[in-house]
Amino acid sequence: MAVAAMIRPISHTEASAALDCQAKHAFAYTGQLTGGTALKPKSTAPILREGRAWGAAVAAWHSSDGDTERARAALEIQLSLDAADQEQAGVYDPDEHATLTTHLHGLLDDYVLNAELIRLDRLERELLVAIPSRTGRADSNRYRLQAYIDGVHTDADDRDWIVEFKLRRKLTPFELIAKLRQIRWYAWAWRKETGREIAGVIVEERLNAVPKPVAFKQDGLPSKVQSCRPDAYVAAFDDLDLDPDPDIVAKLQAKEWCKRHPLVLSTAELDEAGRQLASVGSLIQQLDTGALFPIRNPSPLRCPGCAFRDVCGGNEGDTELVEALFERRPPKHERKEEVNGTRVR
Ligand code: SF4
């Protein structure tokens, strides 16, 4: 039987909230601005639900040697879990669910026809790894990094690659991928948990859009404006026994629907990730205890997508509004967790 202990998990999402805007962190995790109760939005943003279902589906496809039915099943299971949560919170919208499901199946159909398989030796796993203490000389006995890994690929040299699948409105340039703290922290956690040699991280980004069928003009010829795959465009001309426009073929070939970025990480970079996590633990500890009063960090880039924008900056005390939009729950540092990561309350 697992021994229960008061541990304090910190996910990358929580750390990001604390680093982006301490008020956002207070709303979601400490309740410092809302009378001591943290707030959980009743409705999960579609983009988060899409990302979760996509990660589960694609990881299942790669780990099953390209079994599309397994991928579809994983997609449906994740969407059903999210729908059940939405139903429980009273915000389930069957039309929105159906649209999301159709969209993701369309994406998956296109993905399995075009993606190259990565052998995943281990599949979706949650890690709960002690972060270094502030001095860096020992592990914190309370703070843990909570990491959700999509998969792990072991290469021919027996080195591990953490694999992350992302769904994006816009693909990210490699220079920015290389700086992402989440993947570095996950690689650090995997090395610490398993003691295995880490080669790096493979980040695969898929554009959150389905290529359209070939568009035709009224005269029956393919249009010059296309959002299809290049092979579909060329096939349309084959059917008409005509030559395709080479400029349009080149443009369609240049369009990136999916991009895989292998990022090699050195031992020094992984060590630095550990030092960053010690800083994160220290920040969260100060926010948990109230030693730091949360600073609002508003920005036109940050606030429009923030789940707390309707109550932030004046409406925190509007009980009716707060309870219409959020569930109240205990602050995260007061929730009990077991060492094996199973939430007990
Ligand atoms: S609305 Fe803006 S200032 Fe308020 S919590 Fe969200 S990000 Fe911070």
Q: Yes or no: say if 129 and 189 are a contact pair by the CB < 8 Å rule.
A: yes
Tens of pLDDT, residue by residue over 226-241, are: 999 999 999 999 999 9
Q: Using the mean position of ligand 1's atoms as its centre, give its distance from the Cα of residue 164 in Å.
A: 28
Average pLDDT in the chain: 92
The whole-number pLDDT of residue 128 equals 95
Ligand 1, pocket-test mutation among 20, 39, 308, most atoms within 8 A of CB: 308
What average pLDDT does range 291-310 have in this prediction?
95
Q: Using the mean position of ligand 1's atoms as its centre, give its distance from the Cα of residue 306 in Å.
A: 6
Strand pairing report for 139-154 and 160-168: antiparallel
Whether the per-residue pLDDT at 280 is higher than 90: the answer is yes
Q: Given the CA of residue 21, which atom of ligand 1 is nearest to it? A: 8
The whole-number pLDDT of residue 316 equals 84
Report residue 5's pLDDT band, with 50, 70 and 90 as the boundaries: low
pLDDT more than 90, % of the chain: 83
Q: Using the mean position of ligand 1's atoms as its centre, give its distance from the Cα of residue 13 in Å.
A: 15
User: Which residues line the pocket of ligand 1, CB cutoff 6 A?
Assistant: 21, 23-24, 296-298, 302-303, 306, 308-309, 312
Q: Using the mean position of ligand 1's atoms as its centre, give its distance from the Cα of residue 312 in Å.
A: 6
Tens of pLDDT, residue by residue over 110-131, are: 999 999 999 998 777 889 999 9
Listed by start position, the domains of the chain span: 1-36+126-205+266-301, 212-256
Ligand 1, pocket-test mutation among 19, 27, 297, 310, most atoms within 8 A of CB: 297
